[in-house]
Amino acid sequence: MMDNNYDIIVIGAGSGGLSVGMTMNALGFKVLMIAKTDKDIGGECLNDGCVPSKALIHVAKILQNAKTAETFGLKLTGIADLGKAIEYVTQRQGIIRKHENATELRKQGIGIALGEAKFTGKKEVTVKNTRYEAKNIVIATGSKPRELNVPGVENVNYFTNSSIFSIDYLPKNLLVIGGGPIGIELAQAFNSFGTKVIVVQHGNKILEHDDEQVSSILLQQLEQEGIKFLLNADLESFSSTNKANIKFKNGKNRTVDFDAVFVGIGRELPLDVLQLQNAGINTKDGKIIIDKHLRTTNKKVYVCGDVAGDLMFSHAAEFHARILVNNFLSPFKKKLNNDNMSWVTFTNPELATFGLNEKQLQERGIPYEKLEQTFNADDRAITDQYQFSQTILYISKGNFLKKEKILGGTMIAPNAGEIIQELILANTAGLSTQEIFNKIYPYPVASRVNQQLIVKHKQKIISPFLKKLVKIAYKIFS
């Protein structure tokens, strides 16, 4: 008879679920992981999110670079083949799926149950009429795209991130609803293939969670590429299968023609199927009620990833997983703290953000100094043509006894997500600006701009008195 008692059950096998399940298994615990189907292993990131979008963006960048090459005499002919690009996306997913599937996980000793999971007790879940019990259960069921609900939508077969990577034609006119990360990334990608793209955004800026000073630079770059943005506007209705009615906040209206619509208006949590009430797990406003340790109202059931209703990133799910594993094994419990969280929008140029922003610093009453720098005078930016780029950095106020710490910041630049990594490390590890100041950078790596910003800052605080002391020291010791 099968033993259906486990040390831990993980419902969901995306970034967070896999991190918890595989780590606990590696530590010698008996683990059961539950996924709807074998293909669902890998979660949103592998199937409909990070992996396919970045693969498509990779192809789009190749096309962008090819177009740029015409400046130097190279003549291009032909039309980009989206079908080939989708084949490439699927191929890249397949490589990763080779080690993220039921067979491979079972080889590692992890129990796998495929099907819908529902709670049937405080520490019990049922999958296809089979009951499983565990000391602790982790809900890592992710999120799904929010559906569009406007008049006429029933006549339009629109795409979300769950379906766009299976598209079998290249749209001539793509209407993107939502100016968030996935909408902006895909708008630029399809524009690179030759599609005419219009983005409708409810607010007066794109990427509402990023600093407007840098997001406006990205907006300008995307507009220069030919993408049109309708800000302070909403999709009011569809008047036919290929016409959308847009209404602006100033009362004006506009009709937009399209042959494809992409919708990126946020995420929602699919909780109903779990039957949480059977385990004493309470919800509010469509979210699971949790404490700072990611525990539900049933203290033996935890959440991980999107279902926590927190920042919906794959790396946030991995961060949750580390907290949970620590708290399963240590008397020193960790709390969820996003002060060092970071994220990247993978457009070209990229927009990267980390740590605390200016509003958070002001709300908490934390003394800080704001450092800003364009890339106008950076040699690498000059050679590679990205002088429009910019960095904003927030540092704590220091003195002779107290070091300046990096509190947060944002950057827009090609490969900003890579260039900014040392600043993220400094923020996470509590390093001071002096560490960046003292670092020896090979010339002319792109990340030298980080040091340039710190050097300029330190030059500004050289007082007349300090200059006098330096001159005296020079006379004595040189």
Contact 201, 229 (CB under 8 A): yes
Dist. CA 138–CA 8, nearest whole Å: 8
Contact 446, 380 (CB under 8 A): yes
**Domain ranges for the chain:** 5-145+268-329, 153-265, 349-464
Beta bridge partners of residue 230, listed in sequence order? 200
Angle between helices 50-68 and 82-97 (to 10 degrees): 140
Amino acid found at 4: N
pLDDT by residue for the chain (478 residues), tens digit each? 357 999 999 999 999 999 999 999 999 999 999 999 999 999 999 999 999 999 999 999 999 999 898 899 988 888 899 999 999 999 999 999 999 999 999 999 999 999 999 999 999 999 999 999 999 999 999 999 999 999 999 999 899 999 999 999 999 999 999 999 999 999 999 999 999 999 999 999 999 999 999 999 999 999 999 999 999 999 999 999 999 999 999 999 999 999 999 999 999 999 999 999 999 999 999 999 999 999 999 999 999 999 999 899 999 999 999 999 999 999 999 999 999 999 999 999 999 999 999 999 999 999 999 999 999 999 999 999 999 999 999 999 877 667 999 999 999 999 999 999 999 999 999 999 999 999 999 999 999 999 999 999 988 878 788 888 889 998 899 8
**Given the DSSP bridges, would you call strands 368-374 and 390-396 parallel, antiparallel or unpaired?**
antiparallel
Helix/strand/coil for 200:
strand
Geometric angle at alpha carbon 152, from 149 and 156, rounded to 5°: 90
* Residue 71 CB contacts under 8 Å (≥ 6 apart), including other chains: none
Specify the CATH architecture of the domain 5-145+268-329. 3-Layer(bba) Sandwich (3.50)
Amino acid found at 476: I
Dist. CA 3–CA 19, nearest whole Å: 24
Residue 343 vs residues 142, 145, 313, 410: alpha-carbon distances, Å: 18, 19, 8, 10
Helix/strand/coil for 385:
coil
Beta bridge partners of residue 392, listed in sequence order? 372, 410
Beta bridge partners of residue 372, listed in sequence order? 392
Length of the chain: 478
Residue 114 vs residues 12, 41, 156, 354: alpha-carbon distances, Å: 10, 10, 33, 37
Same fold for the pair 5-145+268-329 and 153-265: yes
Q: Domain 153-265 falls in which CATH fold?
A: FAD/NAD(P)-binding domain (3.50.50)
Dist. CA 53–CA 60, nearest whole Å: 10
Dist. CA 280–CA 285, nearest whole Å: 17
Query: 349-464 domain in CATH 3.30.390.30?
Result: yes
Helix/strand/coil for 462:
coil
Dist. CA 50–CA 54, nearest whole Å: 6
Q: 243, 223, 234: which is closest to 177 by C-alpha?
A: 234
Contact 355, 339 (CB under 8 A): yes
